[in-house]
Chains A and B, each alone.
Chain A
Amino acid sequence: MTPSPPTAAEEPLQRALAGEHAAVWAYAALAALLPADRSPEALEALAAHRQARDAVEDLLRTRAIVPVAAEPAYASPPAPPAVAADRVEKRLAAAYAFVLSAAAEPEDVGLAAEQLRACAVRAALWTGATAAFPGLPGRG
């Protein structure tokens, strides 16, 4: 199989995938750190990010693009855990907004919009607040 030449949509997808790898690592760590009453939320987020990671990987593989792998290790999530979770979600929301701005395929648009929304909802539930323009921090 001949790999396709890189497209403008490839780098944003790879960045989103890298963000999902980091999110999976962070939530696995947070689930262990959080008190029992909040660890189910971390486990739910962990499952959601694994699913999103797999979806982005599948999208890349169908285009004969090798998906980026997870790093061997990540920096420990900062305390408190809600701050760490919020940071993870906001970075990923921005990564998916980048996917949206470069996407050429409807399936990329659909996936990125759904994931941007899911990140915004999780960030809101962790912090009790949302931004006016999730994923677009420059807009305030």
Chain B
Amino acid sequence: MLGATGALAGCTGGGPSSPSPAPSTPASPDAALLVRVRAGEQELVAAYEAALAAYPALHTRLAPALAHHRKHLVALSPATTGSGTTPTPSAPPAPPASAARVLARLRQAESRRSEELLGELASAGAPLRTLLASVAAAEAAHAALLEADA
């Protein structure tokens, strides 16, 4: 119905010419936004991976959300969106000392990312903002599930 996948490639403008000259000067507002959004998603992936490494027993609860965040990264990747560079994520913080704290921290991270994404929508082109709003919705749903299971 939405054709968002194909349309995304067109949202960054510029066509086939002039790739972005440097990571610090992205080619368009959407490209700069994508770099920020990807960095946030990579932090979430890293947080989930660290949590699972420390608490393998949480696999059943955390694996679906981790898989979603990896899909988000693919959808937001330069290959998919045709622009931008992939930032190097900073090392995630060491996981907290109990599984309950791990879950609480992930829930907070999901809620925060969801809010941040909604705050970015006003500056995004239509195809990208639909994708970002969907990602924000998934993150709020993850947070709700983490809270409901607590």
Contacts and interface: CB of A to CB of B under 8 A. Distances in A.
A38 to B, nearest CB: 13
Contact of B68 (A110, A114, A130, A136): A130
B127 interface: yes
Interface string B12-43: 00000000000000000000000000000000
A139 B101 CA distance: 32
A5 interface: no
B107 interface: no
Given A94-B1, A101-B130, A129 B64 contact: yes
A19 interface: no
Interface residues of A, number: 35
A23 interface: no
B38 to A, nearest CB: 16
Given A100-B129, A103-B126, A117-B137, A130 B142 contact: yes
A81 interface: no
Interface in A89-134: 93-94, 96-98, 100-103, 106, 109-110, 112-114, 116-117, 119-121, 123-125, 128-134
Contacts of B67: 132
A119 B2 CA distance: 18
A139 B118 contact: no
B71 interface: yes
Contacts of B114: 117
Nearest to A131: B138
Contacts of B145: 124-125, 128-130
B133 A117 contact: yes
Contact of A132 (B72, B126, B130): B72
Given A120-B141, A121-B140, A133 B135 contact: yes
Given A98-B2, A117-B140, 8 more contacts: A101-B2, A109-B129, A112-B133, A113-B136, A124-B144, A128-B148, A135-B137, A139-B71
6 contacts: A106-B122, A113-B136, A128-B145, A128-B148, A130-B142, A134-B137
